[in-house]
Chain A
Amino acid sequence: MGEKELLDNLTSELRRGTQILSVLSQLKEEKYGYALVQILEEKGSVIDPNTLYPLLRRLEKQGLLQSDWKMGESKPRKYYKRTELGDKIYLELKQQWENIVGSMKGLMEEE
C-alpha cells in the first residue's frame, strides 16, 4: 500500500465518524438528497451520494429523520428532516463533538 493510499484510507476513516453529525446538522429544515450533497460539498464536508442515500434511510429507520415524497420543481423528490428525537440527539452529539475537539486540541498541542 502506497503512502498516499494509506493516508486516503485513514482520512476517510476519520471523516466517517463525522458523517452523521454533518448530515443531522443540515436537516433542521427539510431538504432532498442531492441538495444535501451539494450543500455539504460547498461547506467542505464531502460525502459520496452512494454513502449519503443509504445513511439517510438508516437514520430514518432509527427515528432521527422523517421523510416525505413531494413534487419538486418537475418531479417527485424525497425530502428529509430531523424528527424531535433527531433534534435532541443532534444537540447531544454536538456537545460530544465539542468535547472531542477540545480534548484533541489539548492532546496535539503537546507535540
Chain B
Amino acid sequence: MNESDKDLMNRYIYEVIRRVPGAQKEEITMELKELIEDMYDNGEGDMEAVLTKLGDPKKFAAKYRDESRYIISPEYYDNYMWVLKVVLLSVLFSIVVSAFVQLITRESGFSNIMLALFGNILSAGVGAFGAVTLVFAFLERQKVKVEFHEEKEWTVNSLTENSNEEKKNWTPGLLQPVPDKRALISRGEALAELVFTMIFIGLLLFAPYLFGAYVFDEGKLVRTIPIFNLDQWSRILPFMVISIMIGFVDEIVKLLAGCYCTLVMICNLICGFLQIIFVIVMFKVLDIWNPKFIQDITSTFDIRFSSKGDLFYYYGTGFFSNVLLAIICGAIVLEMGTTIYKTLRYGRIKMN
C-alpha cells in the first residue's frame, strides 16, 4: 500500500468516524482499518475500488449509529414548526412596533432605528428559535418518562417480575377512551395565548416604555411616561420573562396533549404555583413600579389625583400594588381551578 492509498483510506475512515458517537470513534477506526487493509490485501482491486465497494461513508456511519437521534422527533415536529412560526412572527411584530414608536417619537435618527431594528430581529429571532427548541427538546424527554410512568400499572406480579419489561408491552387495555369534546383544547385557544404571550414578552424586552401614559404634543406622540420602574429594569425583566416563559411551557404542554388530562393538570398546577411565586417576588421584593409616575403625570398633564375615587390616587401606595397582585394571582388560581374542573369532570385521568 503506497502513501496515496493510505491517505485515501484515512480520509474515508475520517469521513465515517466523524459521524459516529465519540466513545466509539477509536474502536471503529481500528475496525475499519482492519477491514480496508484486508480487502485491499486480498486483491479486491486498488484502493479506489475497495472504497467504492464500501460505499458512501455517510451511509456507513449511519449504520454504525444506534437508531435515530433527534432533538425534536417526528411526533412533535408538526407542533414544533407551528409554535416556532407563531413565536417568530409575534416577536417580529413586537420589534417592528417598538421601532415604529421610536420613529414617531423620533428618539433617535432614522438610520439608527433601522440598524437597531435589524439587530433586534436577528438576535430576537435566534433567541426565540433557541427558546422554542429548548422547551420542545425538554418536553420531548419528559413526555417519554411521563408516558412510561402512566403505562405502568401496579399488579401483584410486578413484585416478582422484572417490571422494566412488563411496562413496554402494549395491550389494547392501554388504549385510552376518546376524550370528551368538552375536554378538548382547541388550537385556536392555544394560538391566541401564545401570540399574546410572545407579543407581551417582545414588548417588555424591546419597548418597555410603551406600557405607560402617552404624551402628545399637537397630535404627535412626544414621549411616554412609563408605568414600570425602568431604572431597575435589568433586575425586574428576568423575573417577568421567566414567569411568562413558565406560562409559555404550560401552553405548549396543553397544545401537545390536545385535551385535558392528568399531565396537563399537573403541569398547569406546577406552572401556576411557580408563576404566583414570581409575581409575588416582583410585586413585593422588587420595585416594579416607576416611583416618579404620578409626579410626572401630574406635572405633565396638570391634573391632580386627589379624590379617593381615582385609581391613581392609590398609585405607589401598597394598596395599588396589592390590588393588582390579588387580581393577577386570582386569574392564575382561576385558570388552575378551570383546569382541575375540566380534567376531573371530562378529562382523561388515571387513578393509580
Contacts and interface: CB of A to CB of B under 8 A. Distances in A.
B37 A75 contact: yes
B30 A76 contact: yes
Contacts, number: 42
Given A34-B39, A34-B42, A51 B34 contact: no
Contact of B55 (A50, A58, A78): A50
Interface string A36-66: 0010000000001111011001100000000
Given A34-B38, A75-B37, A50 B63 contact: yes
A107 B38 CA distance: 43
A51 B54 CA distance: 9
Contact of B54 (A32, A49, A75, A78): A49
Q: Chain A interface: which size bin?
A: 10 to 19
Contact of A50 (B30, B37, B38, B54): B54
B39 A49 contact: yes
B314 interface: no
Contacts of A58: 66
Interface in B26-40: 30-32, 34-35, 37-39
Nearest to B37: A75
A78 B30 contact: yes
Interface of B: 24, 30-32, 34-35, 37-39, 42, 53-55, 59-60, 63-64, 66
Given A34-B42, A49-B39, A50-B55, A77 B63 contact: no
Q: Is the interface of A mostly helix, strand, loop or mixed?
A: helix
Given A53-B31, A53-B64, 5 more contacts: A34-B34, A38-B42, A48-B55, A50-B54, A76-B34
A54 B34 contact: no
A51 B64 CA distance: 9
10 contacts: A33-B34, A33-B38, A49-B54, A50-B55, A50-B59, A69-B30, A75-B34, A76-B34, A78-B30, A78-B34
A76 B35 CA distance: 11
Contacts of B53: 49
Given A50-B60, A54-B63, A32 B34 contact: yes
A50 to B, nearest CB: 4
A53 B32 CA distance: 9
Nearest to A48: B55
Contacts of A77: 34
A57 B34 contact: no
Contacts of B42: 34, 38
